[in-house]
Amino acid sequence: MPPTAVPDAPVVRVSLARCEGSTPREVGAWLAVWDGGVLGSIGGGQLEHLALAHARQRLAEGRHAVETQRHALGASLGQCCGGVVHLRFEASTIAQVRAELAREAEQDTPVALFGAGHVGRAIVRLAEGLPLRLTWVDSRADIFPDAVPPGVCREPSEPVQAAVPGLAAGSHVLIMSFSHAEDFDILRACLARQRAHGDLPFIGLIGSRSKWAGFQHRLAARGFTPEELAGVTSPIGLPGVGGKRPAELAVAVLAQLLGLRAARSAPAR
């Protein structure tokens, strides 16, 4: 959304108010349409094309009344999902949409990414648009790119492990600095914080099994118990994805984080 957009400029907000059967998005998914811009998606395809056209018509006519439409996602719509969606059209403003984006961002999973090397950069690139809120830490202040995607906070820290106490509670930590020495210091600081507060639900360390075995020996010598060390995931990345290119590693790591997020939000049975 352009930062220069007038806060009270009219917007049509289109949301999925109800879903039956198989649908491309979930209840609550939304998009916003204003003069010269669109934000969000309700699943694409012909359904979204029709919704955008109707929203623009409402804008042009200045309509404010709430309106609902029912669409069967079948042959008549050129889609084959087979479900039914109920779309809700309502008037809004740029300011209200920005406030909603801010509220949604607060629900994003906080991720602390230590390392601005090739894999770290690939993670930042591929994470754009995912429900993750990244704090990107490196001891080298000049290593970060000039521009980063929205929602990414660059944080130079020397020594790098000094950033650990200030991480948001609930942070998922990814450790992939440029040196094993830094990785060890970050990991030790994370385990110390976990011992004191228990608020880092995921601590992931990049590298081989032999690297992790060596780290475990050194950490045990510093008093960390097997139970505490069991809270570290190494190597990181969703098993079975494979590949060692930075983008492949990034996909595996992000898939792992999304899987953890989905598991936490799944209803209890």
- Cβ-based neighbours of 141, under 8 Å, separated by 6 or more: 156, 158
Q: 246's torsion region: left (phi>0), alpha (psi -120 to 50) or beta?
A: alpha
SS3 of 90, please?
A: strand
Query: What's the pLDDT score for residue 264?
Result: 80
Provide the H-helix boundaries in 107-151.
Answer: 118-127
Instruction: Indicate whether this model's pTM tops 0.85.
Output: no
Query: What's the pLDDT score for residue 74?
Result: 75
Beta strands in 53-171 (DSSP E): 67-72, 84-93, 109-114, 132-138, 152-156
Query: What's the pLDDT score for residue 268?
Result: 54
Query: What's the pLDDT score for residue 224?
Result: 97
Asked if 206 and 175 touch (Cβ cutoff 8 Å), the reply is yes
- Mean per-residue pLDDT pooled into runs of 10, the chain (269 residues): 74 95 90 92 90 96 94 73 89 93 88 97 95 96 92 94 96 96 97 96 94 96 97 93 90 95 72
Q: Which domains does the chain have, with CATH numbers?
A: 10-103 (no CATH), 108-263 (3.40.50.720)
CB atoms within 10 A of CB 186: 29
Asked if 138 and 177 touch (Cβ cutoff 8 Å), the reply is yes
Query: What is d(CA 266, CA 172) in angstroms, rounded to the nearest whole number?
Result: 18
Q: Show the tokens assigned to 249.
A: 């590693």
